Amino acid sequence: MAPVKGPAADSLFAKPGALVDLGLTLPVFLLYHAGVIFLGVRNGSDLLTESMLRLADGDTRTYLGMTAAVGVIFVGAYATVGRGEVFAPRKFLAILAEATLYAAAMKFGVTWAVGRLFAGHIATGREAAVGMVMSLGAGFYEELAFRVLLFGVGAKALVLAFTPDRLDLVKANDGLHWRGVLVAVLWAFVSAAVFSGAHYVGPLADVFKPDTFAFRALLGLALTLVFVTRGFAAAVWTHLVYDVWVLVLDR
């Protein structure tokens, strides 16, 4: 029997490569960095804005010029190397539709699961513009910090250290043995717990409650699953759509 092949690389159902992933998240990056300067808010995982403001000497126009320059450089690089495929409109529409489905599943599925464990309702509300910018920042920077760096790099290192396997988060892992899968799954739970716990430290920390911790940990697991199966861009847009739904539309 012939092996079952996955979707073609140029199919909408194929997992995007690293270059396409970055191109699909560029609008999130640019809109967030344009928004923070006017609203005076910043995501806790964002370590870049403060450095850019120092370089701009606090000048808004210089900061926006630097942000625009980053956008122009990356657009040129993506368009050249990706031969136009990176910015194909159908890819943006597809990633937005896919992210909306994942966000809906997270909102209703995780809420139901936590509701079965704990009594009470998790409510939140922010002013619409601030909620939008915070959603953009959470989508990009929290996925970069917790899914790409913490889970991704951590899982690759742990699988390499404790198994004979090599974990590839961009391509399929057809040769991954059960020990490699187990290590990656256990690390997914740990990184999801760290992701949840990070919301209870720092100047904007929430008051710790078991139900909110469990809720965010489950969200972290769901986003890790999206990241592993569909890529960085899908995780970013899913996180963004979910946060907009919670912080802006559910006020």
pLDDT at 123: 42
User: Using CA atoms, how far apart are residues 79 and 88, in angstroms rounded to an integer?
Assistant: 10
Q: Which of 94-98, 144-148, 247-251 has the lowest average pLDDT? A: 247-251
Per residue in 166-191, pLDDT (tens digit) is: 777 666 555 667 788 899 999 999 99
Residue 157 domain-assigned (yes or no): yes
pLDDT at 84: 55
Residue 11 domain-assigned (yes or no): no
pLDDT at 174: 57
Containing domain of residue 42, as a range?
18-249
Residue 215 domain-assigned (yes or no): yes
pLDDT at 100: 92
Of 4 and 135, which is predicted with more confidence? Answer: 135
Residue 10 domain-assigned (yes or no): no
pLDDT at 2: 37
CB-neighbour burial class of residue 105 (10 A; exposed 0-12, middle 13-18, buried 19+): middle
pLDDT at 234: 93
- Is the confidence at residue 60, as pLDDT, over 70? yes
pLDDT at 125: 46
Per residue in 110-168, pLDDT (tens digit) is: 766 665 544 444 444 446 788 888 889 999 999 999 999 999 999 989 988 888 877 77
Residue type, 214: A
Mean pLDDT, the chain, integer: 81
Residue 126 domain-assigned (yes or no): yes
> In terms of pTM, does the model score above 0.75?
yes
- The model's confidence at residue 236, banded by pLDDT at 50, 70 and 90, is very high
Residue 13 domain-assigned (yes or no): no
Per residue in 185-233, pLDDT (tens digit) is: 999 999 999 999 998 887 767 888 888 899 899 999 999 999 998 999 9
Exposure string for 177-199, b = 16+ CB within 10 A, e = fewer: eeebeebbeebbeebbbbbbebb
CB-neighbour burial class of residue 245 (10 A; exposed 0-12, middle 13-18, buried 19+): middle
Of 168 and 25, which is predicted with more confidence? Answer: 25
Residue 37 domain-assigned (yes or no): yes
Report the domain count for the chain. 1
First-to-last C-alpha distance (Å) of the chain: 54
Residue 159 domain-assigned (yes or no): yes
Give Cβ neighbours of residue 64 (< 8 Å, ≥ 6 apart). Answer: 34, 37
Are the beta carbons of 39 and 130 closer than 8 angstroms? yes
